[in-house]
Amino acid sequence: MAYDRNRISPGSENATSARQEARNRFVIVIGASAGGVEPLKQIVSDLPADLPAAVFVVLHVGQVSYLPAILARVATLKTSVAKNGAKFKTGNIYVAPPGFHLLLHGDHMMLRRGPRENLARPAIDPLFRSAALSYGASVIGVLLSGSLSDGTAGLRAIKAVGGLAIVQHPKDTLVPSMVESALRYVEV
């Protein structure tokens, strides 16, 4: 049951139940940048077809992205570009489109132009923070290869609400800066 503010008043028992149900969903958020495509392909190819979670991916890209098609070739899960306002389903992979931050709220996705974060749009931190806010301990955050520190603040938010933080081993990355930053500031 999704929270419907027209039917459920915020303080009602039904509202509490709807929020709890939303938190019981499993959400996997994955962020990557330079050198992250190959490990990302490996991860999605290993996910089972009956995965009881929705997967959301942000990769720092330019104005064009072929990532949904690349992942669709190796994944057993349906892979698509995230759509603003669309409800998401478990057993699906959603990829942030170029030029938009991907955010999660309730049972749907939001795309926002917003300012660049860590020099990127889409950026990893907005996805991770919104997932932590909406789903708490049901979130698994995964950070892969890349430069600078995008993903660190988002992983901290995920850990702060009891979620799980995972990073690629720095020795296995092409560009270790993002995961090294996360390892300095987040218990993974």
Two structure tokens written together for 126? 């907005």
Judged against a pLDDT cut of 80, whether residue 3 lies above it is answered with no
Summarize the confidence of residues 140-153 as an average pLDDT.
97
Residue 95, pLDDT score? 98
Residue 24, pLDDT score? 53
Residue 51, pLDDT score? 96
Summarize the confidence of residues 107-118 as an average pLDDT.
96
Tell me which residues are annotated as active site: 33, 60, 150
Name residues whose C-beta falls within 8 Å of residue 188's C-beta, 6 or more positions apart in sequence. 155, 165, 166, 167, 182
**What rounded mean pLDDT belongs to the chain?**
90
What percent of the chain has a predicted confidence (pLDDT) above 70? Answer: 87
Judged against a pLDDT cut of 70, whether residue 6 lies above it is answered with no
Name residues whose C-beta falls within 8 Å of residue 91's C-beta, 6 or more positions apart in sequence. 49, 50, 51, 52, 53, 54, 77, 78
- CA-based nearest residue to 41, from 75, 91, 66: 75
